[in-house]
């Protein structure tokens, strides 16, 4: 996927005045957060499970080479194949080769962020294959030739009527006067259009949420069932995954699954959690006859032992994105690549380079909500700070931000002073609001206030609220 | 293929040597021992108390949880009651009377001849099948989750292709937690072995991809009905 992160500021500016986007985002600002909070409240052990999930992943990363050796042995014993890709290009080549060996004409795909990372679809299409995304959100954005804007809800930036327009434009074989007013009719239409694709496909490609070393298993977690039709019906199933997806045992994955859906959508459990091990067995009447796993590195092995290692615990639940005030304001496309929000601000620079993604770690208010909700307890703000410092050292930022950042870094290293200055600032901003709830214009911040009123801060800073237990 | 394969082999050794270099390896023997032990004797982590209740309450919890995600559940006393229960479910929901199931012994041994209006076909699901019947390996109470295993007895396509999926589960197969299911799995499959596909399923297919509005029947079944059998 083309990297548009260097244009972050422009992207964000456009996003703020995009009415469709703002209307679509309005709905996600509260939905995900309240559902997660309810799921957490229903499970008293939730926070203790998060601690264990973190420890399991830390243990796995510390023994990653050994777990992969065990995993590979199991996959091979079950009749599957493990392929290794150092770069995005290598992963594309491996998959293309498997598809070509199969003479594939039609390839179906379940949702895979790694496939977005390596820009798989373009590569297969250039080789003359048809690629059909089957996750509803992915299908919609494929029709619109857009990248996903969220890691678990790829079309969250669109309104119902935008989806309707895209369906009318693409599904020209259906009657013009059909009624698509309801979400249900859109879902039904996609269901019908995609049915035949599952049946006709030569190869099905899915991602993997986890790999299990104990059994040589790959796991997908979905709600639609599209991933299962994608991987069960064609003759060949390819799993595209990345190095950090490993967990040791069924018990370990159970612990992590207990925090995944609850953090992501607030569900007790996702509708479908599928554990796949090798190809069709002798007495199996269905399932793929070939099972391939492509393990992508793409810079991850270099994160081991670095200050960014903790990021490899990420299970792509999206909670940090769902709770991010910056994401709520500008949506996912502004971040300019595959991974948006706080997790993207940390991950993107490690994967595409700080020179291309240096703006992203600045897209943060350091409110700390991402870390507070991350099921894997990843210190996202700390890692964004690492990037800011690195970027600062490389003098990549313009002079004004450098001065401001230098001042900020000075304060940030002195917590007492930082909190004091924030409290002072909060009070100052309230004065500027003249007792109203919002500030119409602010010196030096006209880029923000030109298009919107800056909400006057509540009486307390986030940190003050946090300490008094007013949040979470 | 050779070029690609050689590259993959080279990538593998580069990745492993990067990992070994970047990891703080220390005592290699101790590392290997930790991994071996965890894999051969997987320790249980923290297990929520929620399902630590008597078996009858676990059945009630399973019901409550899976009904909350739009499945329907009924409980019958004897295996012999299943065909009649099924026939009335099909009738009440205006569903066709043709049913697809695998070669599961318990399901095939049911007295189908008592419900001549239900036409039973065996084998994997085909796109034309509207209704399928499977037997679950386990039903997990803590989150209302069925566990189904692939194979000729209960082919995976039955779980996903038809619009309506009916699942029979024996009351004794209702367990509290995932971990209990794994213990039974290792007993039946052998340690470290898995069926080709193990499906954990909670309710019918759904999506919230358009304006976060939950809509059932995205790609998998639109409807899921569960029959718990006390004596199966
Ligand atoms: S960083 Fe944490 S909260 Fe964000 S997607 Fe990853 S696991 Fe989820």
As for ligand 1, residues whose beta carbon falls within 6 Å of it are: A 314-320, 343, 374-376, 378, 380
**Are B211 and A258 inside 8 Å of each other by CB?**
no
Whole-number pLDDT of residue A403: 58
Q: Per the structure block, which two tokens stand in for B180?
A: 């209990």
* Cβ contacts of A210 within 8 Å, gap of 6 or more: A218, A219, A245, A246, A247, A253, A256, A315
Of B94, B82, B96, residue with least CA distance to B135: B82
Q: Per the structure block, which two tokens stand in for A198?
A: 């599952």
Which residue in the block uniquely carries the two structure tokens 């350091």? A366
Nearest CB to B197: which of A68, A215, A287?
A: A287
Which of A64, A98, A214 is best to mutate for the B interface (most B CBs within 10 A)? A214
Task: Write the residue with the smallest CA distance to atom 8 of ligand 1.
Answer: A317
Please indicate if any CB of chain B lies within 8 Å of the CB of A77. Answer: no
Q: In what order do the strands lie in the sheet with B131-135?
A: B72-78, B223-231, B164-170, B131-135, B98-101, B119-122
Q: How many helices (H) and strands (E) does chain A have?
A: 22, 12
The model's pLDDT over A284-307, given as tens digits with 9 standing for 90+, comes to 999 999 999 999 999 999 999 999
Of B85, B94, B55, B95, residue with least CA distance to B167: B85
Of A385, A295, A338, residue with least CA distance to A81: A295
Nearest CB to B152: which of A70, A194, A283?
A: A283
A459 touches A430 (CB < 8 A): yes
Whole-number pLDDT of residue A315: 98
Per-residue CA distances from A150 to A153, A154, A356 (Å): 5, 5, 20
Q: Residue A322 C-alpha to ligand 1 middle, in angstroms?
A: 10
Q: Compute the distance between CA of residue B57 and CA of residue A138 in angstroms, rounded to an integer.
A: 41
Q: In what order do the strands lie in the sheet with A290-296?
A: A81-85, A290-296, A236-242, A203-206, A106-109, A130-133
Burial category of A264 from C-beta neighbours within 10 Å (exposed 0-12, middle 13-18, buried 19 and up): buried
A221 touches A262 (CB < 8 A): no
Whether residue A472 is predicted with pLDDT greater than 50 in this model: the reply is no
Please report residues of A whose CB lies closer than 8 A to that of B31. 62-63, 66
**Are A268 and B151 inside 8 Å of each other by CB?**
no
B18 touches B112 (CB < 8 A): no
Whole-number pLDDT of residue A414: 57
Q: Compute the distance between CA of residue B103 and CA of residue A416 in angstroms, rounded to an integer.
A: 70
The pLDDT-based confidence of A404 (bands split at 50, 70, 90) is: low
Closest Cα in chain A, distance from residue B164 (Å)? 13
The model's pLDDT over A417-447, given as tens digits with 9 standing for 90+, comes to 555 555 555 444 444 444 444 554 544 444 4
The model's pLDDT over B28-55, given as tens digits with 9 standing for 90+, comes to 999 999 999 999 999 999 999 999 999 9
Nearest CB to A199: which of B22, B46, B127?
A: B127
Q: Per the structure block, which two tokens stand in for A414?
A: 């002195």
The model's pLDDT over A13-68, given as tens digits with 9 standing for 90+, comes to 999 989 889 988 887 888 899 999 999 999 999 999 999 999 999 999 999 999 99
**Are B127 and A228 inside 8 Å of each other by CB?**
no
**Are A268 and B200 inside 8 Å of each other by CB?**
no
Whole-number pLDDT of residue B1: 58
Q: Per the structure block, which two tokens stand in for A288?
A: 């793929």
Q: B residues 104-163 near A, CB within 8 Å?
A: 123-125, 127, 143-145, 150-152, 155-157, 159-161
The pLDDT-based confidence of A459 (bands split at 50, 70, 90) is: low
Ranges assigned E (strand) in B50-185:
72-78, 98-101, 119-122, 131-135, 138-140, 145-149, 164-170, 174-175
Which residue in the block uniquely carries the two structure tokens 């989750």? B145
| Residue A446, number of CB atoms within 10 A of its CB | 10
Q: Residue A110 C-alpha to ligand 1 middle, in angstroms?
A: 21
Please report residues of A whose CB lies closer than 8 A to that of B127. 195, 199
The pLDDT-based confidence of B217 (bands split at 50, 70, 90) is: confident
Ligand 1: atom nearest CA of A318 is 5
* Cβ contacts of A339 within 8 Å, gap of 6 or more: A113, A151, A347, A348, A351
Q: Compute the distance between CA of residue A194 and CA of residue A207 in angstroms, rounded to an integer.
A: 19
| 3 state DSSP class of B69 | coil
Q: Compute the distance between CA of residue A24 and CA of residue A269 in angstroms, rounded to an integer.
A: 26
**Are A225 and B200 inside 8 Å of each other by CB?**
no
Whether residue A2 is predicted with pLDDT greater than 80 in this model: the reply is no
Q: Compute the distance between CA of residue A42 and CA of residue A46 in angstroms, rounded to an integer.
A: 9
What is the mean predicted confidence (pLDDT) over A218-237?
97
Ligand 1: atom nearest CA of A341 is 4
**Are B192 and A27 inside 8 Å of each other by CB?**
no
Whole-number pLDDT of residue A395: 64
Q: Per the structure block, which two tokens stand in for A262?
A: 């609850």
Task: Write the residue with the smallest CA distance to atom 4 of ligand 1.
Answer: A320
A154 touches A138 (CB < 8 A): yes
Q: What is the mean pLDDT of chain A?
A: 87
A134 touches A230 (CB < 8 A): yes
Closest Cα in chain B, distance from residue A354 (Å)? 21
B217 touches A191 (CB < 8 A): yes
The pLDDT-based confidence of B120 (bands split at 50, 70, 90) is: very high
Q: Residue A284 C-alpha to ligand 1 middle, in angstroms?
A: 37
CA-angle at A120, arms to B2 and A355, nearest 5°:
105
Of A160, A158, A159, A155, residue with least CA distance to A181: A160
**Are B194 and A301 inside 8 Å of each other by CB?**
no
Please indicate if any CB of chain B lies within 8 Å of the CB of A85. Answer: yes
Number of CB pairs, chain A paired with chain B, less than 8 A apart: 278
The helix (run of H) or strand (run of E) holding residue A270 is none
For every residue of A180-202, DSSP letters joined together read --SHHHHHHHHHHHHHHHHHH-S
Whole-number pLDDT of residue A146: 92
The model's pLDDT over A79-133, given as tens digits with 9 standing for 90+, comes to 999 999 999 999 999 999 999 999 999 999 999 999 999 999 999 999 999 999 9
A13 touches B11 (CB < 8 A): no
Q: Residue A168 C-alpha to ligand 1 middle, in angstroms?
A: 36
A283 touches B195 (CB < 8 A): no
Q: Compute the distance between CA of residue B62 and CA of residue B73 in angstroms, rounded to an integer.
A: 10
Of the listed ranges A291-305, A390-404, B126-140, the least confidently predicted one is A390-404
Instruction: Please give the span between the terminal C-alpha atoms of chain B, in angstroms, as a whole number.
Output: 51
Whole-number pLDDT of residue B153: 98
pLDDT > 70 in chain A, percent:
83
Whether residue A449 is predicted with pLDDT greater than 80 in this model: the reply is no
Give the mutation target among A374, A375, A380 for probing the ligand 1 site: most ligand atoms within 8 A of CB.
Answer: A374
Which residue in the block uniquely carries the two structure tokens 């569900």? A267
Nearest CB to B157: which of A163, A232, A249?
A: A232
Nearest-Cα residue of chain A relative to residue B32: A66
Closest Cα in chain B, distance from residue A206 (Å)? 14
Please indicate if any CB of chain B lies within 8 Å of the CB of A54. Answer: no
The model's pLDDT over A345-392, given as tens digits with 9 standing for 90+, comes to 999 998 888 888 878 888 888 899 999 999 999 999 999 999 988 887
The crossing angle, in degrees rounded to 10, of helices A183-200 and A160-170 is 40
pLDDT > 90 in chain B, percent:
91
What is the mean predicted confidence (pLDDT) over B125-151?
97
Whole-number pLDDT of residue B190: 93
Q: A residues 236-255 near B, CB within 8 Å?
A: 243, 248-252, 254-255
**Structural domains of chain A, ranges and CATH numbers in brackets:** 1-34+299-397 (1.10.1060), 43-288 (no CATH), 399-468 (no CATH)
Q: Residue A376 C-alpha to ligand 1 middle, in angstroms?
A: 7
**Are B196 and A281 inside 8 Å of each other by CB?**
yes
Per-residue CA distances from A325 to A321, A341, A368 (Å): 9, 9, 10
Whether residue A452 is predicted with pLDDT greater than 80 in this model: the reply is no
Task: Write the residue with the smallest CA distance to atom 6 of ligand 1.
Answer: A314
| Residue A213, number of CB atoms within 10 A of its CB | 27
Q: How many CA atoms lie within 13 A of A435 on its CB side?
A: 0
ipTM for the whole complex: 0.97
Of the listed ranges A90-94, A156-160, A179-183, A392-396, the least confidently predicted one is A392-396
Which of B38, B104, B209 is best to mutate for the A interface (most A CBs within 10 A)? B209
Q: Compute the distance between CA of residue A168 and CA of residue A155 in angstroms, rounded to an integer.
A: 17
Rg of chain B, C-alpha, whole Å: 22
């Amino acid at each position: 996927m083309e990297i548009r992160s260097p244009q972050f500021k422009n992207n964000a500016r456009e996003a703020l005045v995009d009415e469709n986007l703002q209307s679509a985002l309005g709905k996600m600002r509260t939905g995900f957060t309240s559902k997660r909070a309810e799921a957490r409240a229903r499970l008293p052990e939730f926070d203790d499970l998060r601690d264990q999930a973190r420890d399991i992943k830390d243990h796995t990363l510390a023994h990653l080479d050994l777990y992969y050796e065990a995993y590979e042995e199991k996959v091979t014993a079950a009749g599957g194949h493990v392929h290794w890709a150092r770069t995005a290009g290598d992963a594309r080549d491996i998959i293309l080769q498997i598809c070509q060996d199969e003479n594939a004409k039609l390839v179906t795909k379940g949702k895979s962020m790694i496939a977005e990372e390596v820009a798989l679809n373009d590569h297969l299409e250039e080789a003359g294959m048809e690629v059909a995304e089957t996750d509803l959100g992915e299908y919609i954005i494929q029709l619109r030739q857009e990248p996903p804007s969220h890691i678990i809800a790829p079309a969250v930036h669109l309104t119902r009527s935008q989806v309707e327009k895209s369906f009318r434009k693409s599904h020209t074989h259906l009657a013009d006067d059909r009624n698509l007013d309801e979400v249900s009719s859109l879902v039904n239409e996609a269901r019908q259009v995609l049915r035949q694709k599952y049946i006709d496909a030569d190869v099905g490609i899915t991602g993997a949420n986890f790999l299990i070393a104990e059994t040589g298993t790959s796991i997908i977690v979905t709600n639609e069932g599209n991933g299962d039709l994608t991987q069960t019906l064609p003759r060949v199933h390819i799993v595209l995954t990345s190095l950090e997806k490993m967990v040791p045992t069924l018990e370990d994955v159970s612990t992590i699954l207990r925090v995944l859906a609850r953090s992501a959508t607030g569900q007790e459990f996702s509708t479908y959690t599928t554990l796949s091990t090798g190809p069709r067995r002798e007495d199996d009447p269905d399932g793929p006859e070939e099972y391939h796993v492509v393990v992508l590195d793409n810079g991850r092995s270099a994160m081991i032992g670095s200050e960014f290692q903790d990021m490899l615990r990420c299970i792509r639940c999206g909670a940090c994105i769902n709770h991010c005030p910056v994401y709520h304001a500008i949506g996912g496309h502004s971040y300019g690549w595959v991974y948006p929000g706080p997790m993207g601000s940390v991950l993107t620079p490690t994967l595409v380079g700080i020179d291309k993604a240096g703006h992203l770690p600045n897209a943060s208010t350091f409110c700390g909500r991402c870390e507070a909700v991350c099921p894997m307890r990843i210190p996202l703000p700390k890692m964004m700070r690492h990037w800011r410092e690195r970027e600062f050292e490389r003098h990549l930022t313009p002079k004004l931000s450098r001065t401001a950042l230098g001042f900020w870094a000075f304060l940030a290293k002195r917590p007492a002073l930082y909190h004091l200055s924030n409290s002072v600032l909060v009070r100052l901003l309230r004065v500027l609001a003249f007792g109203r709830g919002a500030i119409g214009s602010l010196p030096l911040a006209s880029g923000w206030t030109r298009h919107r009123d800056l909400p006057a801060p509540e009486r307390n800073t986030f940190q003050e609220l946090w300490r008094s237990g007013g949040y979470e | 293929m050779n070029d690609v394969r050689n590259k993959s082999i080279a990538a593998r050794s580069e990745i492993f040597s990067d990992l070994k270099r970047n990891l703080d390896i220390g005592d290699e023997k101790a590392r290997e021992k930790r991994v071996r032990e965890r894999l051969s004797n997987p320790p249980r982590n923290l297990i929520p108390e929620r399902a630590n209740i008597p078996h009858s309450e676990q059945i009630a919890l399973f019901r409550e949880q899976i009904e909350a995600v739009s499945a329907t559940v009924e409980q019958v006393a004897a295996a012999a009651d299943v065909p009649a229960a099924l026939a009335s479910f099909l009738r009440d929901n205006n569903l066709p009377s043709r049913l697809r199931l695998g070669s599961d012994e318990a399901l095939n041994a049911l007295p189908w001849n008592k419900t001549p209006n239900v036409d039973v076909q065996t084998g994997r699901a085909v796109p034309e099948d509207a209704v399928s019947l499977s037997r679950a390996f386990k039903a997990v109470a803590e989150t209302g989750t069925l566990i189904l295993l692939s194979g000729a007895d209960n082919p995976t396509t039955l779980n996903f292709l038809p619009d309506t999926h009916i699942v029979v589960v024996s009351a004794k197969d209702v367990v509290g937690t995932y971990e209990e299911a794994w213990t039974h799995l290792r007993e039946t499959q052998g340690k470290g072995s898995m069926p080709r596909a193990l499906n954990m399923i909670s309710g019918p297919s759904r999506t919230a991809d358009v304006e976060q509005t939950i809509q059932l029947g995205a790609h998998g079944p639109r409807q899921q009905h569960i029959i718990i059998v006390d004596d199966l």
